[in-house]
Amino acid sequence: MSYATAADYDRYGDGLISADKLEKALDRASDQIDRLTYNRIVAWGFDNLTPFQRTNVIKAVCQQADFIFKYGDYLIMPLSGYSAGSTSMTFKAVTGAGGVQTTDAVLDLLMPTGLTNRGLCR
């Protein structure tokens, strides 16, 4: 189940993902947000989150979906960098909980919700 809808994506996403691929992308991003939040959303229930938490999770899902769509092929590469002659390229992605590669922006949305804290909560 995705935490974001097509309407949410229209509001918070970058518009990179076509309508026919959007549902799958949001589902995949939601799964990764679950890993980044130690499955707390699954355990507590999305509807039991505060409005602030729900909004930030929705925004994070939309941004993660764009990130995966845009850089997915590079994220699964076994290389972290490449150089040929005087040209050098290094891939940067933040790795969060569960080895999920994401962006600082996604983590910045999730951090103030308290859902990414490694300690026990609630």
List the one residue out of 86, 104, 82, 87 whose CA is nearest residue 95. 104
CB 105 within 8 A of CB 114: no
The token duo for 81 is 């960098």
Residue 86: the pLDDT is 79
Residue 41: the pLDDT is 95
Residue 104: the pLDDT is 87
Question: Which range has the worst mean pLDDT, 70-74, 90-94, 113-117?
Answer: 90-94
Question: Which range has the worst mean pLDDT, 17-26, 32-41, 64-73, 103-112?
Answer: 64-73
